[in-house]
Amino acid sequence: MSAATTDTLQILLAAGPGPGVGPLHDLRDAGRAALAKTGLPGRKTEIWKYTRLKALDGVAWTGPDARPEIDGDWIDAQAGFRDAWRIVLVNGRFDAGLSRLTDLPSAARIAPLPEAAGAHGAVAAALGQLANAERFPMVALNAACLEDGVAIGVEERALLEKPIHVVSITAPGAQPVAAHPRLLIRIGAGAQATLLESHLHLGDGAPAFTNAVLEIIVGEGARLGHYRIHDGPENALFVATTAVSVAGGAQYDAFALNIGAGLARNESMYKLDGERAEIAVNGAYLGVGGAHIDNTTFIDHARPNCQSQETFNGVLSDHARGVFQGKILVRPDAQNTDGHQMHKALLLSGKAEVDAKPELEIYADDVRCGHGATIGALDADQLFYLRARGVDEQAARALLIEAFLLDTVERIQDLAVREAFAEALTGRLRALQSSLAHGEAA
Amino acid sequence: MVASTETVKQVQELGADRYKYGFSTDIEMDMAPKGVNEDIVRMISAKKEEPEWLLDWRLKAFRAWQEMAEPEWAKVAFPEIDYQDAYYYAAPKSGDKPKSLDEVDPKLLETYEKLGIPLREQEVLAGVEGAPKIAVDAVFDSVSVATTFKRELEKHGVIFCSISEAVKTHPELVRKYLGSVVPFTDNKHACLNSAVFTDGSFVYIPKGVRCPMELSTYFRINAENTGQFERTLIIADDDSYVSYLEGCTAPQRDENQLHAAVVELIALDNAEIKYSTVQNWFPGDENGKGGIYNFVTKRGACRGVKSKIAWTQVETGSAVTWKYPSCILQGDGSVGEFYSVAITNNFQQADTGTKMIHLGKNTTSKIISKGISAGRADQTYRGLVRIGPKADGARNFTQCDSLLIGDKCGAHTVPYIESRNPSATLEHEATTSKISEDQLFYCLSRGMSAEDAVGLIVNGFCKEVMQTLPMEFAVEAQKLIGISLEGSVG
Amino acid sequence: MALLEIRDLQAEVDGKEILKGINLTVEAGEVHAVMGPNGSGKSTLSYVLAGREGYEVTGGEVLYDGENLLDLEPEERACEGLFLAFQYPVEIPGVAGTTFLRHALNAKRKYHGEDEYDAMEFVKFVRAKAKSLNLSDDMLKRPVNVGFSGGEKKRNETLQMAVLEPRLAVLDETDSGLDIDALKVVADGVNALRAPDRAMVVITHYQRLLDYVVPDKVHVMANGRIVKSGDKSLALELEERGYAHLLDAAA
């Protein structure tokens, strides 16, 4: 660890709540202990090969206290999904006033993490189990700075008729702010739910650092749709570590949409932990300006007869950089596994870059596994075909880029979410149309 | 390809003798003391009567080596190597290098005969009419013992000799190119090789010459506790062509032996080098005892415009393989290819693949990798394709397929794909599966044994790679596939 | 002694009983047709005879030339002269047809203590066989069944049968997926292979193949049993009146 990152770590820890007391202090201590051993991810950490957190250095990070005023209309406008139960976190802290949980059925329990951990042994026991602080430095950092968060529980066989929408806002005031949102989500056996996540930024100029950790337990035969959208300005750093375990016969459908201009790293681990579990993990990203968008996924086939499917499409313009790392592990006893993964990227600019590392690690023989990766420019034949039909070049490019990204959005199983995400994406594309048409912003 | 389908017969002929190259030759050896230090490096250099610049280079490498850490990113596990417990110089004791084959120790000639390597030109010529000629450089432990067809090659201006000889006869070429593709700082194994390499082959193909025959080096580790550190340097000048074959075997021994070779290829304008390897070092026994540590650095530089380097490897031997034959595509329009079949059985481990570094415009690369893992073996394809910002119009196609035989083995695929040019096109595809029950039953229902059926299906699986091998090698390689998979079914 | 004698054969697949007591005797030189609706167990019968894994025999016996066929491995059955023409011939990428067939023939020759053919001898042998059946040997140069049309696959099976000279050939829905011209080519091949010491069991859903390969006996299978046997006129009756009529009568 270099001197700079050592200092950075000290600054970040100092901005947190300190060891202190309370139901979360064990977790905080464990986080600090793990960080003392590993430090922040650095050059030699293979899984951080393509993404550096250098932007964390040299910033006077502060805790979540200073925050601008936020009003509900702004959230409505930014986050959409008005017909959902809304949980609002501001700088990692649960904000009951901005949340909308009035008609929540009793089968769903939503509570601040310290309260839930104190009241329910199961919550305290589950915290930090899937997202292991010793293996993941950013999880350790989240734990070390943990003071709040939200626990969501859905009872067995409950069918939630509306989505639960987590709106996490990182809002620096005049000072740079570091936030560590934390969520624990437990979906009971046979239950069905939809979880939306919107990661938003509110501020005017000061840097923001979000280091979210989500742990999601999907019970036997349950179904969970989990859809995330992330947006933010150039000086925002966003890191989210998501650890999901999917029990036997359960289905998990996830999508991550990244359209932020700063640094975003989505690191996700999915464990297929019971027979006939099925997951679909898809995503799309659009990098413009100096954006750096990293999707790192690890799919762990721990049991036989499971299926996983993963498709990510990305578009990089200007001097943006895209990173995709996707690993599929098939453990020795996980026979009859189907695992397929695809990553496609379009490079629109001579200064953009994309790095892909799909990976298969297979220890069972009765498997059908594969991955594919392509990187290239817009298809010249397709462009010409459109132009030959009278579409001008700029419109033709926009059309092809949009189709390329929407191709994965189509995989979202929830129709309303699919439409909303498609709208968010096309809206952004339209705003960027003139710069994307030339591959480089003016 | 009719001649390439003898697998089963050959397997049956070999019967119980699974590693037919497992014998050792009892021959008087000239050995340096065990271990490695500056004195040993000096001694090797002195034995070879090397010029000062080369000794300096070796010493620099040795000093760097002492500071370097072992590469640990590969997915292989083995006990720490005690570098001081091996011999770094072992040569058949026959005084000066023999002037003709008549002076070579007959036991040595017998060894190569047993291995099926023709060292006597008349024997080659007396063979089947129309059989292609192959010039052979035979390296026994640390030194080259014979090179055939030198005179005929000289007529075409082709230089084919041991690298020790080239240091004396063509110092300007050696000095210009040695270490220019693989600097000694590249990695710990290459660095050790630079310090202690004892021999290897040197090839220079002059401008406009198409080498009239296949060139081949046959490596044999014989002595116990000996590391083999050969160094190969091939330069293809403008508009030239050469096809080079490399084979290797070692006796069956209980202890592990280190083989850390370096191969450097340089292709100038419009030149083409085809480099084929059938690697069959002793893999260790069924219980994982013994076998060669095969830590090899192979790299080719396509320096000239429209130059081409194609690597083909059939890797069936070695206890642990760490090997990534690579191409640096500097010249505009240059082409890199990598074709690989790797088979691991029993307790073998292999981490192998390639790097294709695209620097020039309109450079293209193709990677076809077929991995077969059986027994308790672990195998990894590890590859890098990098497109630099100036490599306009670059193209890569990669196909990696793995086949698992049995549920105790592992097969892994770790590609790194990096592009910094929007006009480049990269396609990567990988699959992992087992031999289909349908295919197996179809073969059985036609009367074939399970082992025969597996050999046949695996050879089919590898065909795209096998057909890039020169004919003589393809036959040998097909046999090896059958042999390597013995005991993996049933 | 009959070449093939199936006595009360019962078999299951994935724990589901498919064959519920088949009795069938086939003499050398005879051609028997086994007909029946989909799901009657025809293909299961062919796989049980060939020894496919997953087809569990739960009762009865099968005597082949007086010996217990079910004791033998699939490859031993093949070497003993049993040949199954697959309904869906399997693709084997990268393996040329000649290579495949030479391995098969040499396995059989070795089993019988005969010298194996080398590549040259084999090519001559195959050419002669193909010629005698009016089949082109072109497809042997291509990888086994890869990219073959339905007709090519079935012709390839016929050619394999000619080369391997079985004593008992089981043809599983050899007519499926063939147009009339391809059907004739295959039927001619099959007819050319009829011999006094060779028996054939032709499994088919439709009667039309039997216009060209005229059977000595016809059996109708339904629900895992042979419900009716007769001569070739039975096939015509089925063609005219359908399976339903017959099954109703049997029930």
| Residue A141 clears pLDDT 90, i.e. is over it | yes
Give the C-alpha separation, A48 to B139, whole Å: 44
The verdict on A320 touching B (C-beta cutoff 8 Å) is: no
| Selection from A209, A149, A138, A217 nearest residue A182 by Cα | A149
Q: Determine the average pLDDT of the residues in C187-201.
A: 93
Question: pLDDT digit string (tens) for B340-391?
Answer: 999 999 999 999 999 999 999 999 999 999 999 999 999 999 999 999 999 9
Question: pLDDT digit string (tens) for A173-190?
Answer: 888 999 999 999 999 999
| Axis-axis angle for helices C150-164, C119-132 (nearest 10) | 110
| Residue A245 clears pLDDT 80, i.e. is over it | yes
Structural domains of chain C in order of their starting residue, each with its CATH number: 4-96+166-250 (3.40.50.300)
Q: Determine the average pLDDT of the residues in A349-362.
A: 95
Residues of chain A with C-beta less than 8 angstroms from the C-beta of B414: 357, 359-360
Give the C-alpha separation, B342 to A318, whole Å: 41
Largest CA-CA distance found in chain B, in angstroms, rounded = 68
Give the C-alpha separation, A432 to A427, whole Å: 9
CA distance B456 to chain A (A): 19
CB within 8 Å: B417 and A355: yes
Task: Name the residue among B405, B416, B423 with its Cβ closest to that of A357.
Answer: B416
| Residue A413 clears pLDDT 80, i.e. is over it | yes
Single-letter amino acid code for the residue at C116: E
| Chains A and C lie in contact, requiring 3 or more CB pairs less than 8 Å apart | no
Lowest mean pLDDT among A52-56, A218-222, A294-298: A52-56
Task: Name the residue among B412, B422, B434 with its Cβ closest to that of A347.
Answer: B422
Angle at A50 between CA A201 and CA A185, to 5 degrees: 50
Q: Determine the average pLDDT of the residues in C209-229.
A: 93
Residues of chain C with C-beta less than 8 angstroms from the C-beta of B452: 103, 107
Give the C-alpha separation, C29 to B61, whole Å: 80
- Element holding A383 (H helix, E strand): helix A380-388
Place of tokens 């690697």: B279
Parallel/antiparallel/unpaired status of strands B308-315 and B335-344: parallel
Q: Determine the average pLDDT of the residues in A425-435.
A: 84
Give the C-alpha separation, B465 to A21, whole Å: 64
Supply the pLDDT for residue A174.
86
CB within 8 Å: B1 and C96: yes
Give the C-alpha separation, B50 to B167, whole Å: 7
Say if the ipTM goes beyond 0.85: yes
A358: left (phi over 0), alpha (psi -120 to 50) or beta: beta
| Residue A64 clears pLDDT 60, i.e. is over it | yes
- Element holding A74 (H helix, E strand): helix A72-79
Task: Name the residue among A351, A355, A359 with its Cβ closest to that of B413.
Answer: A359
Task: Name the residue among B441, B450, B464 with its Cβ closest to that of C52.
Answer: B441
Question: pLDDT digit string (tens) for A274-288?
Answer: 999 999 999 999 999
- Interface probe for A, chosen from B417, B425, B429, B485 (most Cβ of A below 10 Å), is B417
Q: Determine the average pLDDT of the residues in A326-342.
A: 96
CB within 8 Å: A349 and B422: yes
| Residue A14 clears pLDDT 70, i.e. is over it | yes
Parallel/antiparallel/unpaired status of strands B134-140 and B143-147: antiparallel
Lowest mean pLDDT among A200-209, A349-358, B37-46, B82-91: B82-91
What is the DSSP-derived secondary structure letter of residue B226?
Answer: B
Angle at A307 between CA A303 and CA A311, to 5 degrees: 135
**β-bridge partners, A224:** A193, A252
Supply the pLDDT for residue B487.
74
The whole-angstrom distance between residue B145's C-alpha and the CA centroid of its chain comes to: 19
Residues of chain B with C-beta less than 8 angstroms from the C-beta of A348: 422
CB B351 within 8 A of CB B74: yes
How do the pLDDT tens digits run along chain B, 490 residues long? 222 223 333 333 433 345 666 667 676 777 788 889 999 999 999 988 999 999 999 999 999 999 999 888 899 998 888 999 888 887 766 555 555 666 666 766 676 666 666 555 544 433 344 445 677 777 776 666 667 778 888 999 999 988 999 999 999 999 999 999 999 999 999 999 999 998 889 999 999 999 988 888 877 776 666 778 889 999 999 999 999 988 876 667 677 888 899 999 999 999 999 999 988 888 888 888 888 899 999 999 999 999 999 999 999 989 999 999 999 999 999 999 999 999 999 999 999 999 999 999 999 999 999 999 999 999 999 999 999 999 999 999 999 999 999 899 999 999 999 999 999 999 999 999 998 889 999 999 999 999 889 999 999 999 999 999 887 778 778 878 878 887 776 5
Chain A neighbours (≥3 Cβ pairs under 8 A) are: B
Task: Give the CA distances from residue C99 to residues A339, B8, C107, C143, in Å, rounded to whole numbers and listed in that order.
Answer: 33, 11, 12, 9
CB A360 within 8 A of CB B412: yes
- With b meaning 16 or more CB within 10 Å and e meaning fewer, what string describes A365-384? bbbebbbbbbbbbbeeeebe
Residues of chain C with C-beta less than 8 angstroms from the C-beta of B372: none
Question: pLDDT digit string (tens) for C110-164?
Answer: 999 999 998 889 989 999 888 887 777 788 889 999 989 888 899 899 999 999 9
Contacts with C71 (C-beta within 8 Å, 6 or more apart), sequence order: none
What is the DSSP-derived secondary structure letter of residue B38?
Answer: H
Angle at A292 between CA A287 and CA A296, to 5 degrees: 105
Is the C-alpha dihedral spanning B461, B463, B468, B469 positive or negative? positive
CB C92 within 8 A of CB C100: yes
Residues of chain A with C-beta less than 8 angstroms from the C-beta of B425: 374-377
Sheet containing C67-68: give its strands across. C16-26, C4-13, C55-64, C67-68
Position C241 confidence tier, pLDDT thresholds 50, 70, 90:
confident
Residues of chain B with C-beta less than 8 angstroms from the C-beta of A46: 73
Task: Name the residue among C78, C90, C123 with its Cβ closest to that of B438.
Answer: C90
Task: Give the CA distances from residue C207 to residues C3, C152, C219, C233, in Å, rounded to whole numbers and listed in that order.
Answer: 25, 21, 12, 10
Supply the pLDDT for residue B114.
65
Chain B neighbours (≥3 Cβ pairs under 8 A) are: A, C
Give the C-alpha separation, B303 to B265, whole Å: 10
Q: CB pairs below 8 Å between A and B: how many?
A: 114
Chain C residues with a Cβ under 8 Å from any Cβ in chain B: 50-53, 73-75, 77-79, 83-84, 86, 89-96, 98-108, 111, 116, 119-120, 123, 143, 160, 164
CA distance B395 to chain A (A): 9
Task: Give the CA distances from residue B3 to residues B126, B247, B356, B459, B470, in Å, rounded to whole numbers and listed in that order.
Answer: 20, 20, 33, 13, 12
